[in-house]
Chains A and B, each alone.
Chain A
């Protein structure tokens, strides 16, 4: 009986070691694309910092990775989160959205923040910097309203 348990544990360990070699590509582009949101609307430093700390890890082309991404399957889970996050909203490629969608996305961001849908609670649990309070929410929402005005006059 003990032998079987030992064998199972050994197999699990080998699997665990094997999966360490399967590593997803990193989302770490240093290039600021011409489609980056900062090229389309003015972003005050206070807002930029909030976006970087609370949003960009999953919604831009540049993620600030924590150490545990080096242990699989954590790295896989994170790669999947980032892929999903970017497919819904990517601040680095915001200019690729149509004028209509840009306004829609901005409204959606404000709504998600207001409704506490974003940032995700699981993400906030791991990232202290992403826990944004009432005042910080107000700062972002105000910036969104201004950006919407500037985009709708531009288009």
Chain B
């Protein structure tokens, strides 16, 4: 009995050790298709198509802005778990945004921001409890959001673009706010009023 088991085990190990070459062929095939899909990157991240007049689009970007502001407010209160919840709803807001009313250029501009923002929002959503890491993503997310608002408008409410030179390890960071007074989402209760309003977005 014992010897059968041992010989079976040896057979299995020998077999598995010599078996790895067959998979390489399929791997090469799939990387060939990857190359075919590769296209030169000419996207200009800062390109700004004209603002949208479609009410449909404005309504939907309103949901994105609302979710972003909820996230921002959770950070001003140093609340990592609320930030995670808001991050997840922001991702959903992006996902459910109706792009049918957008022109081809607008769609491209939107998707450029969306592709990046959704990842940040998702990451913030998954990192409840690690507010430092969430805030790092919020730096990049806020930049995306500023660009999105520049293209698609403020979603129907007056917004403010604020800047704190101390955030982001002293490299400085912006955020979007719905209130005129400074409420810092990066430093929270440590320095709630650090920063200045740079722009009013009407």
A residues in contact (CB < 8 Å) with B: 10, 13, 16-17, 20-21, 23-29, 31, 33-35, 61, 70-72, 93, 95-104, 107-108, 111, 115, 117, 155
**Minimum Cβ distance to chain A for residue B200 (Å):** 25
Give 1 or 0 for each of B5-31: 1 = CB within 8 Å of chain A CB.
Answer: 100110011011101100110111001
Q: Cβ of B116 and Cβ of A96 under 8 Å apart?
A: no
Cross-chain contact B27 with A25 (CB below 8 angstroms): yes
A-B contacts, 7 of them at CB < 8 A, read A25-B27, A31-B31, A72-B16, A101-B115, A104-B140, A107-B139, A117-B133
Which of B33-41, B51-59, B62-70 lies at the binding interface? B33-41
* Secondary structure type dominating chain B contacts: helix
Pair A98/B45 contact, Cβ less than 8 Å: yes
Are the CB atoms of B16 and A21 closer together than 8 Å?
A: yes
Across the interface, do B16 and A95 meet the contact criterion of CB distance under 8 Å?
Answer: no
Which residues of chain A come closer than 8 Å to B139, judged between CB atoms?
107
Residues of A with C-beta under 8 A to B20: 23, 26, 70
CB neighbours of B116 from chain A (8 A): 98, 100-101, 104
Nearest A-chain residue to B133, judged by Cβ: A115
Who on chain B is nearest to A17 by CB? B12
Contacts A23-B16, A115-B133 given; does A99 touch B44 at CB 8 Å: yes
When distances are taken between beta carbons in the complex, the residues of chain A under 8 Å from B120 are 104
Instruction: Evaluate contact between B28 and A13: CB separation under 8 angstroms.
Output: no
Contact residues in A for B133 (Cβ distance below 8 Å): 111, 115, 117
Kindly state whether residue B132 has any CB partner on chain A within 8 Å: yes
Q: How far is the CB of A132 from chain B (nearest CB, A)?
A: 19
Residues on the B chain within 8 Å of A17, using CB:
8-9, 12
Q: Does the CB pair A71–B16 fall under 8 Å? A: yes
15 A-B pairs besides A33-B35, A70-B20, A95-B41 with CB distance below 8 A are A17-B9, A20-B12, A23-B19, A23-B23, A26-B23, A26-B24, A28-B27, A70-B16, A98-B43, A99-B41, A104-B140, A107-B136, A108-B137, A108-B140, A155-B43
